[in-house]
Structure 1
Amino acid sequence: MTQKRKFYHIIYLSLVLFFLTNVESASLPADNQPEEVVQQYFSQWQTIQHDTQLSKEEKGEKLITLLNGLLDIERISQHLLPNDWNKIHTYQHERFKKALSISLKNEITSSAMIGNGDSPLFLQLKNKKITSDNSATLDFRLSGNNKVLDIRLFMNRDNNEKWQVSNIQVGKKISLTRHYYQYCKKLLDNYSLSYLIAELGNYNYVVLEDFEEGTAGAFPPHWRWKSKDDNKRKPYVIRVEDHNHYLEATDEGESVIIGKSIKWNLKKYRYVSFRWRVHRIPPGGDERYGKTVDSAAGIYFIYKKKMGLIPESVKYVWSSTLPVGSAMRRSGVGKPWMVVADSGTDHLGEWRTYVFDAYQAYKDTFGGEPPETAIGIGILSDANSTHSQAYADYDDIRAVKEAKADSGVKKILQAE
């Protein structure tokens, strides 16, 4: 099948979903036969479509709610991520399902074939097969606008006697689950789950880390430290404040870097954002020199590893003494470029949010074009060089698609 034909089949699927979901789910009796449920959804879609009291946003939200009522999103999601679904946290389950619903809604509302809905459309049941007490296969013919479309719906009945669609097939080859399985697999072959979720939901950002999967008082999941630090205290634990999870760092000389592998398209999401709250800064910290190279807070964005071992990264820091915009790199294999995002004691105890152009930051520091795919992030609060303390909190580390920000690099400083 050509790409053009495949595209039109997906548009057909979107059209079908549109017809089947523009109806109030409350109007569907729980004991209906599956074909009656479908017919009622179909017959009422025009009423919702032509509701002039609803804004575009309200219609979008209503459609997502209806999609979640008609489609068995949980079952579909399991089919789309068959090797990963049971391995990922329930928090990621919910994020994926929400993004999938948004993706379906976007496909439906952007389809040129839907038009203004003025032309009459007819849905006729051609065949019905009840394969068990809780599953059914329905064949419909949709006609109108000088087109005829044969549709097969696979439906299941849940414990509440509610019929839901688990798959839709148009013709003999294209189905809803197959289309989305191929889409998900293609992205997961190159990027991380968080990137897939951002693309599905058409979000402006990829969640690189928000610590919501973590347990209060525990080390954050998916993060690692270097083997040389195995015997050190790990000064990082999850805390909860106003129902929000964040990472607390209380370094008292351990100087343990922690990292997380996560891949995203740096060219498409070229900006990064994060927030932190610093409580204590290491007195006299100056990132230019080995004897004072301590920072209250630091976040690494890792672009690549040469020969699979030597990282190239830019580290945004809260410096004790250096001015904002300073950038430097100490000599040594794998040393990061450090860029001062904040400095001093004026804003201690405050949550501060930052946005930088990570793509441009690579060009302003390492020079040349960065790789298309970034590979990870890191965190370090350290006070070992100054024999003091560095306390900071971290949250909401993101890769952002569109923003107004520069690299943060204002002046290159010499470092030893």
Structure 2
Amino acid sequence: MEKVGYKRIWGPLLISMLLSAPVSSQESTLTPFSQMQSLNDGWEPLEFPKIDQLSRYELTTEDGQQVVRATTDGGASGLIARVRLEPTDSLILQWRWKVSNVFENGDAREKSGDDYPARIYVAFEFQPEKAGLFERAKRKTVEVLFGESLPGNALNYIWANTLPKGEIVPNPYTEKNMMIAVNSGSEQVGEWVTVERDIMADYREAFGEEPPPVVGIAIMSDSDNTGEKATAWYGDIFLNPGS
């Protein structure tokens, strides 16, 4: 199997392993990066088999506030936080981020360009009653082999290269992941950008159905497909009920 497929094929499995510990029925607290003493305060590493070169994450002070700085140079890895959120009418995910550059060969529609200087990943619980026979069998095999269950659909909020801002497209590896361009191009490179998204509304638009519970939030800066370099800064991430 080619190297570029591992983070998409194995990523959901590793996320499920990190999400397997019990959490409260309605836990919406994400540890703010500005309050962390170390990267282990409420967040955990997300790494992928067969990808030896990892993105680097570190706490740093940028513009007077503690943030997470991610550096990627031909590798891929992330940080993930477990949550448990039942679906509601509206749920606002808010964050701010900054990137040093976009990827010249980045393309959200192609496997070879499926890299982003910054992304936020929102994982939802698997719904077996809506899956086909093949999908259920595949997931059952994973459970038997690894003792873990895979999560279901996911939203990826990305800083895209050419995909127009606001556009939603399926990931080139799997339609279970939908890519949403919340920033695009180099116009705001080097600037802090604040983003607010209603993840419930986005799920309905992306998948055409009501969302299941949210089970995880992750950040990831990756460049294993394009082999390019970038630095991203992630500010605090918040989850709040919509108005």
TM-score, length of structure 1 as denominator length: 0.44
Q: Which residue of 2 aligns with 1:90?
A: none
Deviation, structure 1 residue 232: 3.5
Letter in 1 for 2:241: K
Gaps of 5+ in 2: 1-22, 128-138, 140-148
Deviation, structure 1 residue 219: 3.8
Which region of structure 1 is more displaced relative to structure 2, 374-383 or 228-237?
228-237
Which of 208, 212, 223 in structure 2 is aligned with 1:383? 223
Letter in 1 for 2:210: E
Q: Which residue of 2 aligns with 1:190?
A: 25
Q: Which residue of 1 aligns with 2:108?
A: 287
> CA 1:220 to 1:278, structure 2 compared with 1: closer, same or farther past 3 Å?
farther
1:108-187 equivalent positions in 2, closer than 5 A: none
Going by fraction, where is strand more abundant, 1 or 2?
A: 2
Q: Which residue of 2 aligns with 1:338?
A: 179
Pair 1:363 & 2:204 matched:
yes
Q: Percent identity?
A: 25
> CA 1:351 to 1:391, structure 2 compared with 1: closer, same or farther past 3 Å?
same
Pair 1:262 & 2:83 matched:
yes
Q: Which residue of 2 aligns with 1:210?
A: 32
> CA 1:388 to 1:227, structure 2 compared with 1: closer, same or farther past 3 Å?
closer
Deviation, structure 1 residue 243: 5.1
Q: What CA deviation, in whole Å up to 9, does each residue of 1:313-340 have, x standing for no partner?
A: 1011011111101111135457410000
Cα distance in 2, alignment partners of residues 335 and 253 from structure 1: 25
Deviation, structure 1 residue 262: 1.4
SS at structure 2 position matched to 1:208: coil
> CA 1:331 to 1:348, structure 2 compared with 1: closer, same or farther past 3 Å?
closer
Letter in 1 for 2:185: G
Cα distance in 2, alignment partners of residues 388 and 348 from structure 1: 16
Cα distance in 2, alignment partners of residues 289 and 234 from structure 1: 21
Gaps of 5+ in 1: 1-187, 196-206, 404-416
Cα distance in 1, alignment partners of residues 187 and 34 from structure 2: 29
Q: Which residue of 2 aligns with 1:4?
A: none
What RMSD in Å do the two structures reach over aligned CA positions? 2.4
Q: What CA deviation, in whole Å up to 9, does each residue of 1:204-226 have, x standing for no partner?
A: xxx524213434xx645322313
Report how many residues are paired.
200
Cα distance in 2, alignment partners of residues 290 and 227 from structure 1: 17
Cα distance in 2, alignment partners of residues 234 and 219 from structure 1: 14
Cα distance in 2, alignment partners of residues 331 and 283 from structure 1: 18
Pair 1:313 & 2:134 matched:
no
Cα distance in 2, alignment partners of residues 258 and 396 from structure 1: 13
Letter in 1 for 2:227: H
> CA 1:294 to 1:331, structure 2 compared with 1: closer, same or farther past 3 Å?
closer
Letter in 1 for 2:238: R
Q: With CA pairs under 8 Å and 6+ residues apart, which has the higher RCO, 1 or 2?
A: 2
Going by fraction, where is helix more abundant, 1 or 2?
A: 1
Higher Cα Rg, which structure: 1
Letter in 2 for 1:228: P
